[in-house]
Amino acid sequence: MDKHPPQELSIEQLTAEAMQLLTMNLEELYVVLGCQLMGAARPARVAGLLSHQSAITTVIESQGKLEPSASGVALLDCAERFNSMIEELKEDGMRFVAAVAAELSESVSGNELLELATQITSSSMQVIVFIVTAVLKLPRQIEAVSATVAAIFCKSAITEVYS
């Protein structure tokens, strides 16, 4: 097991990460953010999600031992548990963005940032990531959250403009 702390990412690396995330839809981005936030979650919360994953693994491993009709029921249960886990992560991401939205909008002019977000280039994304990183003041160990929040901001802005 690697005992080294996670590598700190440069603003260029965070920007590249954010640009890659733009290929995902907004709901998927919230799930990504929820996963990233698990590092700051209460241990019991993380353990609860891991118990879902453990149950899914057990169902998959026992699938071959079951008769076909029981196997189908077990897979359906497995899918429901997985979807529940994903939904919890998405909600975590959405709550985080809702909690920091006011702080982000207070720190920058909405129109200028909206213009950057709707005409996204690597340079404009770098500015957005830099602003998000400065506003959120996250510890270096979880600063990569800034890239995801920046991608969510851009996707949300694009959705608003073209809706």
pLDDT of amino acid 24: 93
pLDDT of amino acid 21: 94
CA distance 92 to 45: 11
pLDDT of amino acid 55: 72
Instruction: Divide the 163 residues of the chain into consecutive groups of 10 and give the mean pLDDT of each group.
Output: 63 92 93 87 74 72 62 70 86 92 73 74 88 83 86 80 51
CA distance 161 to 127: 20
The C-alpha angle 64, 66, 72, rounded to 5 degrees, equals: 90
